[in-house]
Homo-oligomer: A and B are copies of this chain.
């Protein structure tokens, strides 16, 4: 709310470093994820499912702040790769239940090392990482629906 001078200089835009850091950090996952045969958003879906299996599409959508027009094809591809199953709920046929296959469950163990791999690769101190989290979630909670 304080008066802030704003300009059109690329480096002074908040959006630009956010967008670029996100892309470049995502690229850091490339080698490990390729080895597992998955993409970055697919990895995020697995993170959700490793915490909560047998959930509706809308649950994943809410956790990742993605919509059905992104998730439906993404989940279909994961199904084709044998990572998940998609089943219509019997109690409410509008719902589609996503469940991990054994293949995806087994991948969790290999994935355990990924966070450490990334933490080593990025130059942030614990303090900086905490600050970053705090600010990013402030942004997220202010824009999207409440998480």
Contacts and interface: CB of A to CB of B under 8 A. Distances in A.
A116 B15 CA distance: 12
Interface in A93-147: 108, 111-112, 114-116, 118-119, 122-126, 128-129, 131-133, 135-140, 142-144
Given A6-B119, A47-B13, A21 B126 contact: no
A115 B4 CA distance: 10
Given A9-B51, A138-B123, A16 B44 contact: yes
A49 to B, nearest CB: 10
B2 A125 contact: yes
A59 interface: no
Interface of A is mostly: helix
A129 to B, nearest CB: 6
Copies in the complex: 2
A64 interface: yes
Contacts of A13: 47, 115
A36 interface: no
A35 interface: no
Q: Which 9 A-B pairs have the closest CB atoms?
A: A6-B115, A22-B22, A17-B136, A24-B143, A21-B136, A123-B142, A21-B139, A10-B47, A6-B116
Interface of A: 2, 4, 6-10, 12-29, 40, 44, 47-48, 50-51, 63-65, 108, 111-112, 114-116, 118-119, 122-126, 128-129, 131-133, 135-140, 142-144
